[in-house]
Amino acid sequence: MNQINNKIIFKNKNIIDPILELYRGKIYCQIIKMFIYIITENLGTEIFSIKKSYPRTLTNLLSSWMFTLYSFESNNNNPFFPDNFNNIEPLKITLLDFCKYDENNKNYENIIDNIINEFIKFINIQINHIYLYRKLRTNHGYQYENHPSHHLR
């Protein structure tokens, strides 16, 4: 089945819901914005602006960490996001490395722990929004559960 009418598309036995995928992209944009906000509120922008603009540096940092998570975690519950964000060491080490450019001798380890904890809480809330949105779409007639790959979305 291959329908392109703003409904679910079945391609190679995978369910593709264009509206859900757009919503997932919107959530990812919110996650990026919050990541940049939390970090710059706590650590400023200068240390992330040495080679590139701070938004680009921080976006690359987030992407790099997420790719690391994909390597070690499954993403069975959501094809876009890892199932959990427990492996924080790579992110923490990278942020601590950037802090060496700041001449203020702050307690960066505690600051970074707080940043990561706040950010992971935010990510979990946002991913829950995706599950709720998917459930809402299911309640309005989209039959994810009757398809063999329903567990992937």
At residue 9, what are phi and psi to the nearest 5 degrees? -115, 130
Q: Which of 79, 95, 88, 90 is nearest to 24 (CA)?
A: 79
Looking at per-residue pLDDT, the higher value among 103 and 94 belongs to 94
pLDDT category of residue 120 using cuts at 50, 70 and 90? very high
Phi then psi for 143, rounded to 5 degrees?
-95, 65
**H or E stretch at 9:** strand 9-11
**What are the residues whose beta carbons fall under 8 Å from the beta carbon of 66, sequence distance 6 or more?**
81, 82
User: In this predicted model, which residue has the larger pLDDT, 86 or 140?
Assistant: 86
Q: Which amino acid is at 139?
A: N
- pLDDT tens for each residue of 49-77: 999 999 999 999 999 998 888 877 666 66
Nearest to 115 by CA among 24, 61, 40, 46: 40
User: What is d(CA 17, CA 79) in angstroms, rounded to the nearest whole number?
Assistant: 12
Q: How far is CA 116 from CA 71, 144, 153, in A?
A: 19, 33, 26
Per-residue confidence (pLDDT) for residue 75, from 0 to 100: 63
Lowest mean pLDDT among 22-26, 32-36, 103-107, 108-112: 103-107
CA–CA separation, 116 vs 34, rounded Å? 11
Domain boundaries, the chain: 9-152
